[in-house]
Chains A and B, each alone.
Chain A
Amino acid sequence: SQQGEEDPQALSIQEGENATMNCSYKTSINNLQWYRQNSGRGLVHLILIRSNEREKHSGRLRVTLDTSKKSSSLLITASRAADTASYFCATDARPRSGYSTLTFGKGTMLLVSP
């Protein structure tokens, strides 16, 4: 079953606008990550936020984490056409073996128009 669920499923904005995507999850996590997938390509890691962190920045990316609400948001500021991609949140789960595995959500498709 999916651990993370992104919202919205699709988002269409103009260049220069900000894009916000949300992720909700069900169980306790060690960390939450965001990945980007360009059409027909593999996923690329963007940013990681640990369970004891509330906010993190990387360039034009800002991630927040609210463990009490079991939710995270990814903000992309001043969007560019090159930001057009699908964005996935992934949560760190520890099954019976004790090793870390990542569980991905269904993703948000972002379209940035020139």
Chain B
Amino acid sequence: NAGVTQTPKFQVLKTGQSMTLQCAQDMNHEYMSWYRQDPGMGLRLIHYSVGAGITDQGEVPNGYNVSRSTTEDFPLRLLSAAPSQTSVYFCASSQQGAGANVLTFGAGSRLTVL
């Protein structure tokens, strides 16, 4: 049981380049989300999805796009990377059962934008 798998683990980009962070879960969870973690800032929600075809913005969505074509996958796209997007990105999923949203996290993707 792999849980939540994120790829790549590390990535270096130049300003203006685009890339996609991949996230896949094998637990048939309805809810998936992306957070970024910066020193001294904790985790901030970027985008989330409550099912295939349904996405919504979190606290810091600017500069990021998401889509949810399948239950398993929730990729995060950076269309034109900026140094301010240097961060560690975490994908998390949950079943949202019994009115509670208990998250299972991936191991993270560390992104550096030069």
Contacts and interface: CB of A to CB of B under 8 A. Distances in A.
A92 B43 CA distance: 14
B2 to A, nearest CB: 13
Contact of B41 (A43, A100, A101, A106): A106
Interface residues of B, number: 28
A100 B101 contact: yes
Nearest to A6: B42
Interface stretch (B66-74, B76-84, B105-113): B105-113
B100 A48 contact: yes
Contacts of A42: 4, 90, 92, 105-108
B99 interface: yes
Interface string A86-107: 0010101001010111111111
B102 A100 contact: no
A59 B89 CA distance: 30
A44 interface: yes
Q: How large is the interface on A (under 10, 10 to 19, 20 to 34, 35 or more residues)?
A: 20 to 34
A44 B105 contact: yes
Given A42-B107, A42-B108, A101 B100 contact: no
B26 interface: no
Contacts of B92: 42-43
Interface string A23-42: 00000001101010000111
